[in-house]
A and B are shown apart, each in its own frame.
Chain A
């Protein structure tokens, strides 16, 4: 089948083309056409993916693996060059260590390997591919509009848009590679490519902060990569023939052999998914232009991390190590949600909410029963859509009002009605019934009760879930408060942005309607083929939720009924004379303006305190897991 290699190579080809094209109009054309083709090709996968079980496609092209090795060495040299340039010695050290492991693997361990590397596709890969292909390319289209404004607003940042779009598309290539490769050294290769792309994109603006945060991301991900390389070496020693270097065989080979590499790879996944204690890099990554954040948070990068952990869930389930990974995820969920309460920077709130949700996904995958894997995949889908929508909304708002602070978004519903409604839907999608994320949380609660030690997770979900209610609703409240002075500033938003935003909004709603179908046609067959049994929501509940969604959708029409014949009076200001723009005469004859600010509960949910706690806790857990695994390995 040609579609898989096509999806891996085509975005790279588009990327290369974009690197060459300097004219803006050509770039627009190429990006749009490329995005369209990638989107269609990923949709096409829907028709060719087998109903049950994975399908394999051997790639009988000998030199490919060698070429990849060569590319890895070139990348290592490039990173070392950058490390020297910016005096980041830790990065150099990590790159060297990883390169050494790889050279060792290539020269000695891999010598006896004689399996033919293959690509594969099953429903899970398909879901991931759809997320990457559709959401990822929409974000690229959005970036067209965003980046031209960005360059206008930041004259001091060198216009390297060619490189930017090159990296964006290259990122998609790498992601397709990760989800389609069955041969672990290949997965590793694409894995490292995502690290490289994210590193370069975060550092795009070239400011000191950007460079520092880029290296932070690089270091943490290299640490994960090191663990991944360790897993490869371990496997090469355990099975000199190299059969176990394939994900499909490895997963079926049982706890005894598979556990150690699975834990190492899960560790790599934890760094990539930015769970605590590695959450700092994702928070730091928000210095990058917003489309980059959207890409990192929704369809690529962090999703690669959770993808690989969910892949290995069958190995992890029922083991102490799996439980610990689950706990790392669970605590990350709880603490990152709590931190989000104390943040007023919209991108930071989004970042912490991403970290929290990734934590939840990993918690599901670590405990890894079939019901939880079902919930985890559901979470991945819903999160990708709603989160990308939110990032793009924030990016749009930022360019119009010049701030990404939630406090400055007061009355957005008056100033930018359409974007505000989209943002509202996006936020609702993140935490309200009957939208997606809540369905998955609900499924997770039901599944955790039956799992081993599930009560801990249920408690985490009960508390963490309500915490998320707080920070999302107060944000919602900010944007819908009808501020009397606001002027409308919605015009002048480029068409590309509208396209991406409307698509994603439609998808957020549509996916809630379509989720029973998605569950029965994509998620359930996958879970069934891996575990032999599967989970689903009961028919009654689905009907009720559909009715709720329907109710929600007709509710706004009540406004038409009420529009006439109501008297509008100003808000109650204790009777003080107040001007229409909410100025009033305060004490001592001072004119003051009403200014309403949200609560942030700094002293309870402060970032520093909770981050320290989370880091200590999760670091301890990971150490414990390391010791346990080392015990198994030796």
Chain B
């Protein structure tokens, strides 16, 4: 395990959630759950973040925003969809304004179920995401290795 998974900095984006999941995400930062134990920090800045935590589904207003945030994060990065809204659209799925879950826009790595998702499962989801982060890092390094191997 490299330092990558010991220091996951998250960016929390509230897409079109009912605020139920948001409060649970923030609860993770409170003394009771204290995610900083795992080195998790809420950065509020895509350029510093490793994990994009999204609550709520995609609508026409936040579509571009989600894409922008995702593209402004440096690789390797993972996306965690928190709550069923983020996973599939949830109870709002049929609404006129909702496009669907986050995965209709950007690739999602971990789905955290629940309405609202409990802090324990959110933390669990983020910790799951870390191993994916490590995998992605390795894939990132791969082409370079092949290239250098080719030269020899």
Tell me if chains A and B make direct contact, with any CB pair below 8 A: yes
Binding site for B on A (CB under 8 A): 567, 569-570, 572-573, 575-578
Interface residue B124 (Cβ < 8 Å from any Cβ of A): no
The 10 closest A-B pairs by CB, nearest first: A575-B65, A577-B64, A575-B68, A575-B69, A569-B72, A572-B47, A572-B72, A572-B45, A572-B46, A576-B65
Question: Are B66 and A575 in touch, CB under 8 angstroms?
Answer: yes
Question: Are B13 and A575 in touch, CB under 8 angstroms?
Answer: yes
The interface centre, meaning the residue of A567, A569, A570, A573 with most chain B CB atoms within 10 A of its CB, is A569
Binding site for A on B (CB under 8 A): 13, 45-47, 64-66, 68-69, 71-72, 74
Question: With A and B bound together, what is the CA distance between A453 and B40 in angstroms?
Answer: 56
- Inter-chain contacts of A576 with B (CB < 8 A): 64-65, 68
- Inter-chain contacts of A575 with B (CB < 8 A): 13, 46, 64-66, 68-69, 72
- Inter-chain contacts of A567 with B (CB < 8 A): 74
B63 to chain A, nearest CB (A): 9
Question: With A and B bound together, what is the CA distance between A577 and B60 in angstroms?
Answer: 12
- Inter-chain contacts of B46 with A (CB < 8 A): 572, 575
- Inter-chain contacts of B74 with A (CB < 8 A): 567
Main SS of the interface on chain A?
A: loop
Closest B residue to A576 using CB positions:
B65
A592 to chain B, nearest CB (A): 16
The interface centre, meaning the residue of A569, A570, A575, A578 with most chain B CB atoms within 10 A of its CB, is A575
- Inter-chain contacts of B65 with A (CB < 8 A): 575-577
Closest B residue to A577 using CB positions:
B64
- Inter-chain contacts of A572 with B (CB < 8 A): 45-47, 72
- Inter-chain contacts of A573 with B (CB < 8 A): 68
Question: Are B64 and A570 in touch, CB under 8 angstroms?
Answer: no
Question: With A and B bound together, what is the CA distance between A572 and B71 in angstroms?
Answer: 11
B67 to chain A, nearest CB (A): 8
Closest B residue to A569 using CB positions:
B72
Question: With A and B bound together, what is the CA distance between A550 and B46 in angstroms?
Answer: 37
Question: With A and B bound together, what is the CA distance between A143 and B144 in angstroms?
Answer: 56
A578 to chain B, nearest CB (A): 8
Closest A residue to B72 using CB positions:
A569
25 A-B Cβ contacts within 8 A?
A: A567-B74, A569-B47, A569-B71, A569-B72, A570-B72, A572-B45, A572-B46, A572-B47, A572-B72, A573-B68, A575-B13, A575-B46, A575-B64, A575-B65, A575-B66, A575-B68, A575-B69, A575-B72, A576-B64, A576-B65, A576-B68, A577-B64, A577-B65, A577-B68, A578-B68
A445 to chain B, nearest CB (A): 40
Told that A570-B72, A575-B46, A577-B65 touch, could you supply 5 new A-B pairs with CB distance under 8 A? Answer: A569-B71, A572-B46, A575-B72, A576-B64, A576-B65
Closest A residue to B75 using CB positions:
A567
B142 to chain A, nearest CB (A): 16
Closest A residue to B62 using CB positions:
A575
Closest B residue to A575 using CB positions:
B65
- Inter-chain contacts of B13 with A (CB < 8 A): 575
The interface centre, meaning the residue of B13, B47, B72, B74 with most chain A CB atoms within 10 A of its CB, is B72
Question: With A and B bound together, what is the CA distance between A53 and B8 in angstroms?
Answer: 71
- Inter-chain contacts of B66 with A (CB < 8 A): 575
Question: With A and B bound together, what is the CA distance between A573 and B13 in angstroms?
Answer: 14
- Inter-chain contacts of B45 with A (CB < 8 A): 572
Question: With A and B bound together, what is the CA distance between A578 and B13 in angstroms?
Answer: 18
A165 to chain B, nearest CB (A): 55
Question: With A and B bound together, what is the CA distance between A428 and B145 in angstroms?
Answer: 44
Question: With A and B bound together, what is the CA distance between A575 and B67 in angstroms?
Answer: 8
Closest B residue to A578 using CB positions:
B68
Question: With A and B bound together, what is the CA distance between A196 and B86 in angstroms?
Answer: 78
A631 to chain B, nearest CB (A): 67
Closest B residue to A585 using CB positions:
B64
Question: With A and B bound together, what is the CA distance between A576 and B46 in angstroms?
Answer: 13
Question: With A and B bound together, what is the CA distance between A570 and B74 in angstroms?
Answer: 12
Question: With A and B bound together, what is the CA distance between A447 and B5 in angstroms?
Answer: 56
Closest B residue to A574 using CB positions:
B65
- Inter-chain contacts of B68 with A (CB < 8 A): 573, 575-578
Question: With A and B bound together, what is the CA distance between A569 and B72 in angstroms?
Answer: 6
Question: With A and B bound together, what is the CA distance between A575 and B72 in angstroms?
Answer: 9
Question: With A and B bound together, what is the CA distance between A569 and B68 in angstroms?
Answer: 10
Question: With A and B bound together, what is the CA distance between A572 and B45 in angstroms?
Answer: 8
